Structure 1
Amino acid sequence: MSTDAGCASETVRLIVAISSRALFDLSESHRLFETQGVDAYREYQVAHEADILEPGVAFPLVKKLMSLNATLGERGRVEVILLSRNSSDTGLRVLTSAHHHGLDIARAAFTGGASPYRYVAAFGAHLFLSADPIDVRLALDAGCAAATVLPSSPLTAEHEDERVRIAFDGDAVLFSDEAERVYRQEGLAVFNASESAAAHEPLPSGPFKGLLVAIHQLQALFPPDDSPLRTALVTSRGAPSHERVIRTLRAWGIRIDEALFLGGLGKSRFLAAFDADIFFDDQSVHCDAARLHVATGHVPHGVAND
């Protein structure tokens, strides 16, 4: 499946698929599952199905995304779909909690222990967020934008800005890992020379291009200075390799609101300054630092994850 189109056939909407453990804090019941097995887990969830689950790492992002429908005056323009390894029996608590918290989630797939990744494309989702790295890799291999939502500091839970702010790394996320491979194999000097020589050649698409396209199309419904969605590219690239990135986005016809070319500086304090609701990166070292400040999704794609 082409990553240019992502997993969505309906590009005028933004559809996000999310697992129950990314949306809610299921740490206690998940520990029970790992230590005592599925039967104990089921008994626990049924016994506690009237107990509302606390928000998880991705909950603030989901709440903000779904609030865009009110801003747009149209239900379902932004849709969140629950994809869960729970059975329908144990998943009842998750949907009940979602509705209690005011999340208008109407569609769900409960797969009874099987990986739900195959339903990402079936639902036409532009993005799949999960706490299970195996499911994320399977979704990426199927051509879908997917990320493992990492445990984050409680400091990431509140954002004063009502706008949705999404930050992306470049290579192996928005773009392919072609240039990253040159850097790792040949070093910085060769990388810069190669990117300068290819400055007018658009970079190949990465797994998150389809998501960026969908976000851009939603942004286009608003004046550029009054959009409830804001995007940032936060990359370790610096001059002269920045030019190819800028020209690539121009060739794609995509507006990105902020572009930070850090030239090797750490990303965390810039993500905190941007007040990102979520940040996507392919490298664990960047993700581990970022998750202390903002919600972070690891994208296990490309040479850094071979």
Structure 2
Amino acid sequence: MVSTIQNTDVKQKDADRAVVVAVTSRAVFESGADGDDVYGMGVAFPLLQALQRVNKRLLEENPAESLLFDVVLITTDSQQQQQSCRIISSTRHYGLEVSRFCFSSEEDFVESLQKNNVQLFLSTDSNEAPQASQKGVLSALLDRQEAPSEQLRVMFCGDAVNRPDAGPMPASRQAAQNFSAQLGEMRQRFGMSDSPLRIVLVTSHGGRESCGALRTLRSHGVNVDEAYCLAGAPRSPILSVVRPHFLLSDGFSGLED
């Protein structure tokens, strides 16, 4: 069963233009003592602040802007579902701009993503991401290292960008292309410096791969701020420097070495 509660404290986004991002509540909040009125801040807390920062800057540039991030909080944890009021009050306490709260069972969470027209699903659970991806919902694992709250940092995997279109999950790949185009359009709203959105490309092998990935992203309207060619080296040193909130790949992705 899926239940969705609209947050009346937040102005709802344009359903036709907004970029709907769903984040699991257990990634945003850490369970505290039973007597606490609010949850502690989780690993995804800076991500939500970064999304809000992008929205704020977009509206400063154009008060009529409709291409904004629309955040949905997904709760599948039975204990947290019993404390739904606590989740809502925690969101209000921290001033997080969450449009909707969605409560579902672990079996039905993908249905909840589809019903809310989610374009990107983010979780710390390595089982949830592939489940959503197999149903055509672009998904990624959140990195557990500390990421900045003042700037949204998105990393693209060049290996996936260069993959032929005839992949095993065409629906998910199409979702990735659509999201990338929207992200690229957002990035174009800002200048080269002091942007609240930073797009990074990392490729594992040679320069030809990097050039191909750059061309593919540009064909989708995405201009990257930085590009790294690892030439077979592990990703972890670059990840520790860039500190992306998540890495986008085809289907689902993680921030492994």
TM over 0.5: yes
Give 1:176 shift: 3.7
- Residue in structure 2 matching 1:157, options 141, 146, 149: 146
Q: Map of 1:129-208 to 2, 5 A cutoff?
A: 129-149=122-142, 152=144, 156-157=145-146, 159=148, 162-172=150-160, 174-176=161-163, 205=173, 208=176
Q: What corresponds to 2:4 in structure 1?
A: none
Is 2:73–2:98's contact at 8 Å kept on the other side of the alignment?
A: yes
TM (norm. structure 2) is: 0.75
Q: Does 1:67 align with 2:53?
A: yes
Q: What corresponds to 1:100 in structure 2?
A: 93
Give 1:48 shift: 2.4
Cα distance between partner residues in 2 of 1:231 and 1:263 = 20
**What code does the residue aligned with 2:207 have?**
A
Is 1:130–1:149's contact at 8 Å kept on the other side of the alignment?
A: yes
Q: What corresponds to 1:83 in structure 2?
A: 74
In structure 2, the CA distance between the partners of 1:281 and 1:57, relative to structure 1 (3 Å rule), is farther
Give 1:113 shift: 4.5
In the alignment, structure 2 segments of 5+ residues that lack a partner are 1-13
Is 1:242–1:261's contact at 8 Å kept on the other side of the alignment?
A: yes
**What code does the residue aligned with 2:153 have?**
R
Give 1:163 shift: 2.2
Cα distance between partner residues in 2 of 1:110 and 1:125 = 14
Give 1:158 shift: 5.5
TM (norm. structure 1) is: 0.64
In structure 2, the CA distance between the partners of 1:233 and 1:207, relative to structure 1 (3 Å rule), is farther
Cα distance between partner residues in 2 of 1:94 and 1:285 = 27
- Residue in structure 2 matching 1:246, options 199, 207, 214: 214
Q: Deviations over 1:32-65 (max 9, x none)?
A: xxxxxxxxxxxxxxx8274321111111111111
Between Structure 1 and Structure 2, whose CA radius of gyration is higher? 1
Give me the identity figure in percent: 28
**What code does the residue aligned with 1:65 have?**
L
In structure 2, the CA distance between the partners of 1:258 and 1:12, relative to structure 1 (3 Å rule), is farther
In the alignment, structure 1 segments of 5+ residues that lack a partner are 1-8, 29-46, 182-203, 290-306
Cα distance between partner residues in 1 of 2:140 and 2:253 = 15
More strand by share: 2
Q: CA RMSD in A?
A: 3.4
In structure 2, the CA distance between the partners of 1:225 and 1:51, relative to structure 1 (3 Å rule), is same
Q: What corresponds to 2:9 in structure 1?
A: none
Q: Deviations over 1:42-90 (max 9, x none)?
A: xxxxx82743211111111111111222222259822210111146533
